């Protein structure tokens, strides 16, 4: 095990000392206390400060305060969390402590599991979306495979939506911005009878793009979305309740176009198409112009229903969660990333136009979970469970009229698991928690490629069984200070790399399972009369056969995408999170993370475009042992300050909120391409507004996001192979990389 950097230890110690010194001046405001956040990280309700797991608990109040509207925004509040975004949602996703899965294949699950109301999502694209009517979000760091399923090999985003209210309530929220976003959300909830309650929430938003397609005159990187969610809760008896949830959402976006960062003026598509690639465009790391015949365009439809039953069996509780979900996604794009007349050059003028692709994905998912939870006895408690899931995904892909590709396939995963976890309390201050999960899984694939002559047909199936587990020891130094140590085994099952060029050889040799061994120690503390909270975690995790994607752009313009098992890698670091109430008016929330995510051994990686022998490319492969993992900043920190002005003579109080998020430089390519790195950057957000004092009947906020207009990129691609080895580097920008301002208003009744 490599020692964690001394710099991180010193920084954490200095941060702690500064925070304690600064907060010691706040000796007043005895009536103010930090809100206790209840979480279900161990499948039972507990205070977040009592759980021996590294987690970030985000309340609904924090979500409203920060104006969090999409899952991507959560990176502002969780220092160990990053997100990668591309022009295809299926190649986007989250990373925790540097670990994540960003692949094109629909048959590979995410390392960071996204779970909504105790129901898992299947595809990467489902993790990128709107957050509507949220009760809380739990970001669980490190492997959580015992209780949350095998795919939670790097961590979990557990999202809990609001349930029916005991008394009638309703709200309307609106938002308008200078980049032409309009957003509306309405919610109504309350009792129908003494035993029946409901909640209905609807949302609609529309936002213009900010990246300019000079060929069509249209702006892209915009989005339109709408959805509805309904919950019905029935207290069947004193010992049984049932909650039925149904939801539907759809969105259409034009995100995220590739713009030119560097482009050789002599660059030609395929190296010989005579048309200029980007006339009228000045490439730079701030360039928001591009040229294309069409796209990118994508859209999703997501619908589902789930039923949750809680049955009291004496002092025990039996929970059943039945879920059905359907997710559909289409993505259309311009393959040559220009409006050059590629066909005219290839066909000698017989036809004209560019090269386009179309992809359609449909996932059907059903799951059933049973959990039996014991009461909390004096010395012990436990939970045991059974889990079944069946996911089937159909995908088709078409590219024309040259570099043709026309294939369709189905991948399916059927899982059965038994799991349990128990806590034994040696004393009032010391306890041990241990869990096991037995998981059996069968995967199948059926693939046909109509673009080949003769057409090919591929079919296969495979199975795998694994036993996982975790153990933690916790000790309370005092009622408000807890030390813990934890070990967890992470696992993500084998998978089919079903993409273009899928062969029977690949089908007979699926991507091997990914495993990990994770160790962490931590402290959770609350002091100064529950007005200061400080948590710190040190961790070390080693991964074997990490599932990673390599992309090679061939000279004919086609992408050779494959998933490799990286021999081994490690991630280690220190995380610090805290909150403080200072005086009568000021609240602080802060976090910092030092993460060293390194490839220990991978000697058969693809070379990056243009890589030379001197740079380590031998026979088309290289050794990237010792390299960094993509999109994993070494340092990241955030601070949120909220200042309230009482204004006693008015029926409302005023507030001023400021947040600062900074992260270190990152690379975006597993192959260590030096041209795909982004420098460090920081983003500053401001808001000011008023809130009704007595009953929160209204809250009006003026805000500016990215106040300093700090430009940064969420992705960088090297397309030299497509342009005859000429320099061709592209940017991907998301909305948060641009300054925008607006007004939000919430009215409750």
Does some domain include residue 406? Answer: yes
Rg value, the chain, Cα: 26
The phi, psi pair for 181, rounded to 5°, reads: -95, 135
Residues forming beta bridges with residue 170, ordered by sequence position: 188
* Residue 133 backbone class (left: φ over 0; alpha: ψ -120 to 50; beta: rest): left
CB 674 within 8 A of CB 665: no
Q: What is the domain range of residue 422?
A: 6-748
Q: What is the pLDDT of residue 556?
A: 53
Does some domain include residue 1? Answer: no
How many whole angstroms separate alpha carbon 289 and alpha carbon 214? Answer: 7
Q: What is the pLDDT of residue 116?
A: 94
How many whole angstroms separate alpha carbon 489 and alpha carbon 485? Answer: 14
Q: Which of 241, 248, 154, 251 is nearest to 200 (CA)?
A: 248
Does some domain include residue 79? Answer: yes
Does some domain include residue 712? Answer: yes
Does some domain include residue 701? Answer: yes
Using DSSP's 3-state secondary structure scheme, residue 292 falls into coil
The two three-digit tokens of residue 596, written as one number: 């060293």
Q: Which residues of the chain have pLDDT under 50?
A: 1-29
Q: Which of 602, 620, 624 is nearest to 611 (CA)?
A: 620
The two three-digit tokens of residue 284, written as one number: 């730079």
* Residue 221 backbone class (left: φ over 0; alpha: ψ -120 to 50; beta: rest): left
Overall number of domains in the chain: 1
How many whole angstroms separate alpha carbon 135 and alpha carbon 243? Answer: 16
* CATH number of the domain encompassing residue 480: 2.40.170.20
- Return the sign of the alpha-carbon dihedral for residues 128, 133, 139, 140: negative
Q: Which of 405, 397, 402, 371 is nearest to 386 (CA)?
A: 371
pLDDT in tens, 333-343: 888 888 888 88
Q: What is the pLDDT of residue 23?
A: 43
Whole-number Cα distances in Å, 143 to 266, 306, 520, 562: 49, 26, 11, 25
The two three-digit tokens of residue 645, written as one number: 């002005």
How many whole angstroms separate alpha carbon 291 and alpha carbon 26? Answer: 57
Q: Which of 128, 291, 138, 162 is nearest to 215 (CA)?
A: 291
Q: What is the pLDDT of residue 93?
A: 83
Q: Which of 230, 105, 99 is nearest to 629 (CA)?
A: 99
Q: What is the pLDDT of residue 552?
A: 57
How many whole angstroms separate alpha carbon 548 and alpha carbon 672? Answer: 13
Using DSSP's 3-state secondary structure scheme, residue 90 falls into helix
Q: What is the pLDDT of residue 702?
A: 98
How many whole angstroms separate alpha carbon 325 and alpha carbon 364? Answer: 6
Does some domain include residue 522? Answer: yes
Q: What is the pLDDT of residue 547?
A: 84
Q: What is the pLDDT of residue 343?
A: 84
Q: Which residue has the tokens 């960062």?
A: 261
């Amino acid at each position: 095990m490599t020692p964690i950097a001394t710099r991180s230890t010193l920084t954490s110690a200095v941060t702690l000392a500064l925070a304690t010194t600064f907060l010691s001046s706040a000796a007043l405001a005895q009536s103010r206390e930090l809100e206790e956040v209840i979480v279900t990280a161990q499948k039972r309700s507990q205070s977040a400060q009592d759980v021996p797991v590294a987690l970030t608990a985000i309340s609904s109040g924090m979500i409203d305060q920060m104006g969090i509207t999409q899952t991507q925004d959560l990176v502002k509040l969780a220092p160990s969390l990053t997100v990668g975004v591309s022009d295809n949602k299926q190649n986007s996703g989250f990373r925790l402590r540097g670990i994540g899965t960003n692949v094109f294949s629909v048959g590979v699950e995410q390392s960071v599991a996204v779970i909504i109301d105790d129901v898992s999502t299947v595809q990467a694209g489902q993790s990128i979306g709107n957050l509507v009517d949220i009760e809380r979000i739990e970001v669980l760091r490190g492997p959580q495979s015992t209780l949350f399923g095998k795919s939670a090999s790097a961590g979990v985003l557990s999202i809990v939506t609001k349930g029916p209210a005991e008394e009638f309530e309703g709200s309307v929220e609106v938002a308008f911005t200078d980049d032409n976003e309009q957003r509306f959300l309405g919610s109504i909830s309350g009792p129908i009878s003494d035993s029946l309650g409901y909640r209905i929430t609807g949302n609609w938003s529309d936002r213009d793009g900010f990246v300019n397609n000079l060929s069509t005159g249209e702006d892209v990187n915009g989005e339109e979305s709408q959805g509805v969610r309904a919950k019905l809760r029935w207290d069947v008896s004193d010992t049984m309740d049932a909650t039925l949830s149904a939801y539907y959402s759809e969105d259409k976006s034009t995100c995220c176009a590739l713009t030119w960062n560097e482009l050789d003026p002599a660059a030609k598509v395929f190296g010989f198409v005579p048309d200029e690639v980007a006339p009228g465009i000045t490439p730079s790391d701030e360039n928001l112009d591009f040229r294309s015949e069409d796209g990118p365009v994508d859209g999703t439809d997501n619908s589902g229903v789930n039923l949750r039953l809680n049955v009291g069996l004496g002092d025990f509780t039996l929970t059943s969660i039945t879920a059905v979900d359907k997710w559909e996604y289409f993505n259309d794009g311009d393959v040559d990333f220009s409006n050059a007349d590629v066909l005219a050059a290839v066909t000698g003028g017989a036809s004209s136009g560019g090269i386009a692709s179309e992809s359609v994905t449909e996932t059907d998912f059903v799951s059933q979970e049973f959990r039996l939870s014991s009461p909390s006895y004096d010395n012990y408690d436990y939970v045991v469970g059974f889990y079944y899931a069946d996911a089937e995904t159909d995908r088709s892909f078409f590219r024309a009229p040259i570099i043709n590709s026309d294939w369709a396939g189905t991948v399916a995963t059927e899982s059965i698991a038994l799991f349990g976890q128990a806590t034994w309390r040696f004393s009032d201050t010391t306890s041990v928690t241990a869990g096991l999960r037995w998981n059996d899984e069968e995967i199948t694939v059926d693939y046909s490629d109509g673009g080949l002559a003769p057409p090919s047909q591929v079919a296969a199936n495979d199975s795998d069984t694994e036993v996982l587990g975790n153990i933690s020891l916790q000790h309370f130094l005092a009622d408000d200070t807890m030390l813990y140590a934890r070990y967890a085994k992470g696992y993500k099952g084998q998978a089919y790399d079903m993409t273009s060029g899928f062969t029977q050889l690949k089908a007979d040799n699926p991507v091997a399972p990914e495993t990990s061994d994770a160790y962490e120690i931590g402290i959770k503390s609350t002091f100064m009369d529950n007005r200061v909270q400080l948590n710190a975690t040190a961790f070390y995790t080693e991964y074997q056969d990490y599932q990673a994607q390599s992309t090679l752009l061939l000279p004919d313009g086609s992408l050779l995408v494959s998933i490799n098992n990286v021999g081994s890698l490690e991630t280690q670091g220190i995380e610090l999170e805290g909150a403080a109430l200072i005086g009568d008016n000021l609240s602080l929330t802060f976090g910092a993370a030092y993460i060293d995510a390194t490839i220990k051994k991978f000697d058969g990686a693809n070379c990056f475009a243009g890589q030379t022998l001197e740079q380590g490319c031998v026979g088309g492969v290289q050794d990237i042992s010792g390299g960094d993992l993509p999109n994993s900043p070494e340092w990241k920190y955030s601070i949120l300050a909220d200042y309230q002005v009482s204004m006693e003579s008015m029926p409302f109080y005023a507030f001023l909120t400021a947040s600062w998020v900074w992260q270190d430089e990152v690379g975006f390519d597993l192959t260590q391409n030096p041209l795909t790195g982004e420098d460090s950057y920081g983003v500053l957000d401001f808001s000011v507004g008023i809130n009704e004092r007595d009953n929160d009947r209204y809250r009006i906020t003026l805000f500016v996001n990215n106040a300093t207009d700090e430009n940064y990129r969420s992705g960088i691609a090297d397309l030299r192979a497509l342009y005859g080895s000429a320099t061709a580097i592209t940017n991907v920008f998301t909305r948060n990389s641009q300054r925008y301002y607006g007004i939000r208003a919430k009215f409750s009744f």
